[in-house]
Amino acid sequence: MKKLGIIFFTILLSIGCQKKENQSVRTIIEEEQNILIGINYPVTKSKKLNKIIQKEVHTQYNSFKEKYMNFNSLNQKSELNIDYSFDKVKEYDIVTIHTYLNSSKFYQPQNYIKTYVYHKKKKRLISLKDVIPKEDLSYITKYVKHILQQKYNISNKNIQKYIKNNHSAYSNFTFDQDYLYLYFDQFQNIKNIIKIQIPLENLNPKIDTEQQIIKTANTKVKIPNKILDPNKKFIALTFDDGPSIYTKEVINILKKYNCNATFFVLGNKVEIYQETIRESLKNGNELGNHSYSHKWLIKLDEESLKEQIDKTQDIIQETTGYTPKLLRPTYGSVNQKIRNLDQFEIILWNVDTLDWKYKSIDRIVSRATKNPKDGNIILMHDIHQRTVKALDKIIPILQNQGFELITISEMKEIQLLRDKMKTD
Ligand code: ZN
């Protein structure tokens, strides 16, 4: 008991304000014939942990591609989505990797979880046995069995089978100042991951649960006002799947040429790049919603769809005070459920740079600048270095042909002004 007390007591002392932007997220978004891939995973300060996570993600990515690239059933696509959480609890970096697989090969989407509790000083992953004394493990087993039977209706036989099949039944665990969390996937008939929380005080009643949380200041970002001349020609640049480590460079290039763009962001990244998106708005750029973790929205039920959208709205509002009014659905696919989200205007594009696919900067530049027309909406992704480099060439080419680069909402305003001019 004493060991646990010391470990979790030190955890308590660490809870507080953590600046998020010293960490980053890697994103892989791909769309090919039969497969859709949306992956976000964290990059921490621990190189060894990063290697472990990267290896896991790439193993999943490769085996998914191998299995489904040529799997073609009734022209159905297969989807791999990987989302994550990352928490720092005193000397531990705690990462969960959540995999969601959706394919017509399955009756229902599949969910898998992997957790990593990494001790920063010892530079190694720790197991539950490292932090929980033996005598508590039997209590945990009883507790877990009780919850699985009562809440999830899983029979004792199935629980035994699960424990037998899984090398360690408690390999997936995390904790915070109040609870120990255990995760279970692949239980028959259970669609989602089961997360069981055990109050730490049940394990060691001596733990002081008082905590100190300092919230970051929530000041509203002031967005500048611009005057636009409807007689000019306009193009809207749009960036999806960010923010990322490259977004600040994109913002700086836009600033250099005195123009603006619209960023369709992922909620799970806004939290990490808070400063970046505040800076983006301050400079007159616009933010739109592109879901939380890039799940293929048309495949979700209403509840999951709402979760993907609302979580993103909330985090943008909390960070900037701004409420997005534009939605860009993932993979550009729209259905009635998405159209019914009436707080949004759905924005697609008519010029695709394919910057996620083409490695050549010149090729991206030529796709963006070929045949420019007033009212064009160009699609790019601020998660690639090459996109930043291409942007620095694209803007002057378009500006030299007399185009002004503005946000989507500004484009809408121009349209209204022009309509008004026609009727006057
Ligand atoms: Zn996207």
From CA 132, how far away is CA 203, in angstroms rounded?
9
Confidence class for position 169, pLDDT limits 50, 70, 90:
confident
From CA 265, how far away is CA 263, in angstroms rounded?
6
Tokens of 135: 């005598």
From CA 289, how far away is CA 338, in angstroms rounded?
12
Strand order in the sheet with 35-43: 24-31, 35-43, 78-89, 92-102, 110-119, 124-125
pLDDT score, position 282:
95
Quote the DSSP letter at residue 69. Answer: T
Helix, strand, coil percentages for the chain (3-state, nearest 5): 40, 25, 35
CB of 68 within 8 A of CB of 103? yes
CB atoms within 10 A of CB 110: 15
CB of 156 within 8 A of CB of 165? no
From CA 314, how far away is CA 291, in angstroms rounded?
11
pLDDT digits (tens, 9 = 90+) for 242-265: 999 999 999 999 999 999 999 999
**How far does the centroid of ligand 1 lie from the alpha carbon of residue 77, in Å?**
16
Confidence class for position 168, pLDDT limits 50, 70, 90:
low
DSSP assignments along 79-99, one per residue? EEEEEEEEEEETTEEEEEEEE
Residue ranges, CATH 3.20.20.370, the chain = 233-423
Annotated catalytic residue: which of 240, 241, 355, 382? 240
pLDDT digits (tens, 9 = 90+) for 127-164: 888 888 878 888 888 888 888 888 888 888 888 887 77
**How far does the centroid of ligand 1 lie from the alpha carbon of residue 412, in Å?**
22
**How far does the centroid of ligand 1 lie from the alpha carbon of residue 297, in Å?**
11
pLDDT digits (tens, 9 = 90+) for 12-51: 333 333 445 667 999 999 998 889 999 999 999 999 999 9
Please report, in angstroms and rounded to a whole number, the separation of the first and last CA atoms in the chain.
81
pLDDT score, position 42:
95
Q: Where are the beta strands (DSSP E) in 158-201?
A: 173-175, 179-184, 194-199
**How far does the centroid of ligand 1 lie from the alpha carbon of residue 396, in Å?**
26
pLDDT score, position 21:
63
Please provide the CATH number assigned to the domain covering 233-423. Answer: 3.20.20.370
List, in sequence order, the alpha helices (H) in 196-325. 200-203, 247-256, 267-270, 274-282, 302-320
In the block, which residue shows the tokens 């996620």? Answer: 356
pLDDT digits (tens, 9 = 90+) for 294-309: 999 999 999 999 999 9
Peptide bond into 243 cis (omega under 30): yes
**How far does the centroid of ligand 1 lie from the alpha carbon of residue 290, in Å?**
7
Mean pLDDT, the chain, whole residue set: 87
Strand order in the sheet with 173-175: 173-175, 179-184, 194-199
Confidence class for position 167, pLDDT limits 50, 70, 90:
low
pLDDT score, position 31:
92
**How far does the centroid of ligand 1 lie from the alpha carbon of residue 80, in Å?**
13
From CA 172, how far away is CA 151, in angstroms rounded?
19
Quote the DSSP letter at residue 226. Answer: -
From CA 94, how far away is CA 97, in angstroms rounded?
10
Question: To the nearest whole percent, how much of the chain has pLDDT over 70?
Answer: 89
Residues with CB under 5 A from ligand 1 (ion): 240-241
Residue ranges, CATH 3.30.565.40, the chain = 24-202
Higher pLDDT, 65 or 225: 65
CATH number of this structure's domain 24-202, picked from the four choices 3.50.50.60, 2.60.40.10, 3.30.565.40, 3.30.70.20? 3.30.565.40
pLDDT digits (tens, 9 = 90+) for 385-396: 999 999 999 999
Residue 213 pLDDT > 60, yes or no? no
pLDDT digits (tens, 9 = 90+) for 190-211: 778 999 999 888 775 322 333 3
Residue 240 pLDDT > 60, yes or no? yes
Residue 316 pLDDT > 80, yes or no? yes
Confidence class for position 226, pLDDT limits 50, 70, 90:
confident
Give the mean pLDDT of 317-342. 96
pLDDT score, position 391:
98
Tokens of 83: 């989302």
CB of 59 within 8 A of CB of 50? no
Residue 376 pLDDT > 80, yes or no? yes
Confidence class for position 113, pLDDT limits 50, 70, 90:
very high
CB neighbour list of residue 268: distance below 8 Å, 6 or more residues apart:
25, 40, 83, 84, 292, 293
From CA 361, how far away is CA 191, in angstroms rounded?
43
Q: 240 an active-site residue?
A: yes
From CA 14, how far away is CA 185, in angstroms rounded?
30
Q: 310 an active-site residue?
A: no
Give the mean pLDDT of 72-78. 74
Grouping H, G, I as helix, E, B as strand and the rest as coil, residue 410 is helix
From CA 15, how far away is CA 97, in angstroms rounded?
22
**How far does the centroid of ligand 1 lie from the alpha carbon of residue 264, in Å?**
8
**How far does the centroid of ligand 1 lie from the alpha carbon of residue 82, in Å?**
14
Amino acid of residue 410:
E
Grouping H, G, I as helix, E, B as strand and the rest as coil, residue 78 is strand
Question: Minimal CA–CA distance to 237: which of 359, 122, 391, 342?
Answer: 391
301 CB-side CA count, 13 A: 3
pLDDT score, position 164:
74
Annotated catalytic residue: which of 290, 294, 381, 384? 381
From CA 36, how far away is CA 78, in angstroms rounded?
6
Confidence class for position 74, pLDDT limits 50, 70, 90:
low
Tokens of 115: 């957790």
In the block, which residue shows the tokens 């480099």? Answer: 389
**How far does the centroid of ligand 1 lie from the alpha carbon of residue 320, in Å?**
22
CB of 90 within 8 A of CB of 14? yes
From CA 166, how far away is CA 187, in angstroms rounded?
11
Residue 417 pLDDT > 50, yes or no? yes
Higher pLDDT, 220 or 101: 101
